[in-house]
Structures are given as structure tokens and as C-alpha cells.
Structure 1
Amino acid sequence: MVMLIRYRWYRIQLPRDIPGLDELIDNCPFGQDTNQGFTRVNSELGHLNHRFLWRSTVVVSQVDESGDTFYQEVASVNFTDFAIINIKGTVFLRIENPGRSIKDLLNALESLVGLGFTSKLVTFEKKEPVTVFEKTEVVKLIGLKVTEAILGEGIIGRMEFTSSEGITPEKLTILTDIPHKTESASFELIYGGVKGLLSFNSNGTVKVSGQLAPRLIYLIEKDLAAITRQLQ
């Protein structure tokens, strides 16, 4: 059983004279004498990922036996896993379990590549992937969150709907004629008797779990190029 994993994608552009981003990354390894660098790791999807590592220190307070407070620096190594994928000539970063460190990763890649490197977050506010649903035998909507629902003059609501049996959007009459935005939608999918869970957030975060996870991510990525063209 594959654990719940979060993903985000960034569309990136590279200067034409760059031979390959993978090669640049592999030439900048993380070591004992470096503050940041890269290595390779196995991903949850069954292939090699890049791992960006960087050192940081935090100051923690402690109390000694006399009750006096003193401060001590604690060193740590942080990391972010990501993959570089090429979809129909468009290059993307697929970031696994993204956190606040995304900016550090993008800054490190920009330093490696130099002038001409750009990145843009892929979101699903205007368009969601469709292939993942078309290529799956059973699709069941089990969760829906909406925001900015205008319920009346000066009244804006946030609503959440869940059902293990499945939600029929047409039966959500409470949303009829009410302007709103979909924040997230969660699905249960079955293919070949194997079940997986999939959740889309309008901010671009995708959550997957179950044995279908590798297939779901593969099918989502088939639509990324078309989605980013619509966002331009």
C-alpha cells in the first residue's frame, strides 16, 4: 500500500545552450564540506528522483540543573525530493511532499542554470486533468470543498461535502445558482480491481495513495502541457 503523497508541478524554461538539467544537478553533489547539493534517491513511484539537501541551524533553549536557561545551536540537514520530466517538449519539476523549502530548491536550480531559468507553478483553478478519469474504470467523487460561496449580501460561505458512497454533483442543489469556487475535490478510483485515492486542490497540490498511485500520476502528467498552455 502506497502511503499518502503530495505532489506539485512547476513548468520550467531553460536557456537553449543548457545541455541538460540532470547533468548539471549530478555535477553538484551534496557532501561533508558543502552547505547544499544534490543526490539521487528512489521515489515512491518506483524510479530515481533527485534530492536537494541543504544545511541549516536552529537555536533551541534549554534549562540546566540550576534552572537557568541557556541557548544552543542545533545543526540539521533538510531535503526536498523532485523529478525532472519532459512532456511533449515542455519541462516540468515534479516536487514530492512540497513544503516551504520549494523556494530554496528553485533558487538553487536558478544558480546552477544561470540567466534564462524561469519557473511557474501549475494550478488547477481553470482546468483539471481529464485523462486520469477517462482511463479509469470506476470514478467516485467522495469529497468536495467550495469557497467564496455568495449566500447573500455580505455573506460568503465555505462548504464541505463528503460521502463514502459517492457524491453526484447534479444532486448538490444547494450550490445551484450560487457563485462559488471549488477549492478541492477527492476521488476514489478503481482500475483492474485495484483501488486508489486522488485529491485535487485548486492551488496545484495533488494527493495520491494506494497501489494505483504511479498510474494516477502518469495519467495526470499526460495533461500538464495542455493545462499550462491554457494558463498562459
Structure 2
Amino acid sequence: MTSMPAARLAETFVKLADTLVGDFDVDEFLRFLASRARETLSADASGVVLADLSGHLRTVADCVGKTSSAPLWELLRADGPSMECYRTGTPIAVPDVDQHNNRWNRFLQEARSAGFAALHAVPLRLRDTTIGALTLFHARRGTPDSEDARIAEAMAEAAAIALLQQRAVQREETLAKQLQAAFTSRILIEQAKGVLAERLGTTVDAAFTALREHARRSNQRLTELANAVLSGSTDLPRE
């Protein structure tokens, strides 16, 4: 059962929620999650697997002593309890790493070699969306009590909510930038069409056709050519 003071536990959840900052760093956030989970739940080590927007997996571990260099951490994103927890979105407890499990033999062998006897994985999940898993390792056999299990799941869910919120903000910012870039490009092209129509003594539609054809022949982006026309560095020949 956790012995962390209520004030520090509350501070942990506040920090897990604080992702809407300009200098947010995902790896630093994951290290904080792993560290506080290990401390809060009196684990001997912890590891986090997170899938980014492209599906690429990143891992972070928090451990002490000889376990810090164990090959186990590279296996967090291999076939084992952590990845099954992520794939299924359900908690997985392994009360004894000596148990026989053909699917996880390599992972459990590395856990045993690193000095661990049991582990408990909980998903980083919000409703039907799972983006990773938090795994706690213990030197003693056994399963977490109900209170520790609830706290581990609450920490993992809080982290998932924060990360998904941060991703949503990133997507909105990216979309806003894309829309602004498209709007700016449209303005440049419209201005270039007018300037070119006047220079060539033709209609705006004919000027746009000439602009587009020249961009294709010269392998230029239409926006770049429009900007060059406006600056006077490029002048399309009369047909």
C-alpha cells in the first residue's frame, strides 16, 4: 500500500495534468510519470511505453542500481506484458516472473535477470483510446493490493488525458498554421495574377493560366513563382 503523503500525491496529479505549456517535453513528462509511479507505489522500477501519432513507440524507465543498465528496458516495446497491456488496453499482473508463459519467456527471463520477481502493467488509456502502458516492477513476488492498483490506473489515466489533450492542441496549432499558409499563398497568387494581367495586357484568367504553366515548366511551386512575379525578380514572357 502506498505510503506517499496525500499532499505529494495531489501534487503528482497536478503535474501530470500540466501539459499545456510552450516548452512541453514528452520525454521529460514520461520520466516524471515513471519516477513518481515508482515512488508512489513503492516499486523497485518502472517503465513507460508510449505510441506517438505515427505509431512509433518510445520507452522511458526509472530504476536504481544495477537494474539501470538491464537489457529489459529495450524489451518494453517488444512482445511482453507491457505491450500486451498497450495492445489490449487492460491491466496485466504477473505475480511471479518464474511462471511459465511461452509468449513472454524472453521478457520474463530478462526481468528475472534484472532482479525482479513480479510486475504490474496498466494502460495509458482514456475510454476506448489506449496510447501506451505504465509497468511497475517489484523485487518481491505478489500482486498489488486494490488501493495500489487503483492509484496506478488513476496515474496512467491522468497521464493519458494530459497527453491526448496536448496532442489535440498540437493538431489544432498545426491546422491553424496550415490554413494560414494556404490563405497567405492564395493572396500572393491573386496579387500575382493581377500584376501579370496588367503586364501582359490580358485577362486575369489568362494570366493565371500563364502563371501555372510557367510554374510547371520551371518546376517551381506556384506560390514561389507568384512571389517572384510580385517582387519583380521574374517576368513571364508574352506568349
TM-score interval, normalised by the smaller of the two chains: under 0.3
Rg: which structure is higher? 2
Normalising by structure 2, we get a TM-score of: 0.23
Q: Which has the higher strand share?
A: 1
Which of structures 1 and 2 has the larger relative contact order (alpha carbons within 8 angstroms, sep 6+)?
1
